[in-house]
Amino acid sequence: MKKKAVVLGGGFAGVQAAIELVKKKMFDVTLVSDRDYLYLYPISIWIPTGKLDFENAKVSLKDIQKAYKFNLIIEPVLKINSAENKVLCQNLTLEYDYLVIAMGADKMKHQGLENTLSICGKPEISLAIRERINSLITRGNGKIAIGFGGNPLDKSAVRGGPAFELIFNIHNLFVEKNIRNNFELTFFAPMEEPGARMGRRAMVMVASMFRSFNIKKQYGIKIKAFEPDGVLFENGSKVASDLTIFIPASAGHSILKTSDLKLSEAGFIRIDDNCLAEGTDNVYAVGDIASLEGPEWKAKQGHTAEVMARCAVYNIYNSEKGLRERKGYIKHLSILCVMDTGNGAAFVYRDNKKAFVIPMLVVGHLLKKGWGKYVRAVKTGKLPRLPGL
């Protein structure tokens, strides 16, 4: 009889883990997700500017299931009990031999957060951002503030790239419509050097683009509150805004508070290099829900989540086969981003040995668009995954 492997989460990490487990052909695999599609966050930056339809940023989990033949359950997870090898869902309880937790993370709380919209929040918020931008375009002028925050307890739990990309795409949209001079764009972040983990060359490139695009910036001052008409900072200054788009840093998933798993100070699952949850021998955590070790510049990204998923499944398989060899994720950590502007892009890469930026202009923009189609084809079994991707 096949051992039962349960995967919690339908994002990049969870879907990759389910696919890899099915490929091993020795597990009865069940994927549990609270929504019925994989959302392609990296290309969702084009939804607010009308360059991408919302439906084209979604990949049906049922389509993925057809290709890889796992069991699929669409409902919320309520509790994880690793001591009893059980997961309590909304309408049923699942028992497992191996568990992979890939449920993502919650967001840091800020005063007045309801006055903001986030491109990295619930997928449908991207449509709300588009509506607000279109309203300002109809009005003919306005002020837009875009930024991101950090988590002082876990510096890897930050999402800065999409904020940079979105402000560049909005700038380009206004240029296309010949209304850029009617709008004030401001980028804000509480850290002194937002984006520093991408490397010095990437920061120089971004600073040059801000100057060239006439984008104002507010760095190094902690955020006090978000108000309906702008962002208030702890030194008393304020950035006026008709539309504030903010990406909060990640925080530990709320469901973990009632679990029996060991958590970091920031509330993420503590794992070893093999993605095995501390104090367990059959529970693995991958992606944003896990507490990452490694270099100071490490960041939680989609490709890292998939690397962790593949490592976890490799280790599950070897554990079940009685083999000692294990694969660790730390040596594979990197920052990888195609920073898109709407009409161009730059390839940003960093690992322990190197950090570089390659301007790719229109070709980079087209490659990122192609990546979205490639991911859809790979996840639904229509194309094989290219090595290293």
Sign of CA dihedral 308, 310, 315, 317: positive
Distances (CA, A) of 286 to 92, 115, 251, 292: 24, 31, 15, 9
Concatenated DSSP letters of 257-269: GGSSS-B-TTSPE
The pTM of this model reads 0.96
Cα–Cα distance for residue pair 99/285, rounded to 1 Å: 8
Q: What range defines the domain where residue 87 resides?
A: 3-105+252-332
pLDDT in tens, 233-271: 999 999 999 999 999 999 999 999 999 999 999 999 999
The answer on pLDDT for 132 being more than 70 is yes
Give me the percent of the chain exceeding a pLDDT of 90: 95
Would you state the pLDDT for residue 361? 86
Single residue among 220, 249, 278 that ends a domain in this structure: 249
Q: Mean of the pLDDT values across residues 371-375?
A: 93
- The pLDDT tens digits of the residues spanning 271-295 come to 999 999 999 999 999 999 999 999 9
Sign of the Cα torsion 224, 227, 230, 236 reads: negative
Strand-strand pairing, 27-33 and 3-8: parallel
DSSP string, 120-147: TSSTTHHHHHHHHHHHHHHHT-EEEEEE
The answer to whether 63 and 50 are in contact (CB under 8 A) is no
- Rounded CA separation 380/103 (Å): 21
Distance CA 141, CA 138 (A): 8
Burial 253-275 (b: 16+ CB within 10 A, else e): bebbeebebebbebbbbbbeebb
Examine the domain organization and report whether 42 and 119 are in the same domain. no
| Cross-strand pairs, 223 | 233
CATH number for the domain harbouring residue 197: 3.50.50.60
Q: How many residues would you count in the chain?
A: 389
Structure-token pair, residue 32: 């549990």
Residues 198 and 218 in one domain: yes
Q: What is the largest CA-CA distance in the chain?
A: 67
Q: Looking at the domain assignment, is residue 372 inside a domain?
A: no
In a domain, 341, yes or no: no
Nearest CA to 47 among 149, 122, 145? Answer: 122
The answer as to whether 277 is a domain residue is yes
Give residue 290's pLDDT: 98
Residue 343 has pLDDT above 70, yes or no: yes
Query: What's 185's DSSP letter?
Result: E
> pLDDT tens for residues 207-221?
999 999 999 999 999
The rounded distance, in Å, linking the Cα atoms of 388 and 177 is: 39
Identify the band that residue 388 occupies on the pLDDT scale cut at 50, 70 and 90: low
| Number of domains into which the chain is organized | 2
Of 225, 249, 273, the position where a domain reaches its end is: 249
For 91, the token pair is 């309408």
318 with 200, same domain? no
Do both 261 and 169 map to the same domain? Answer: no
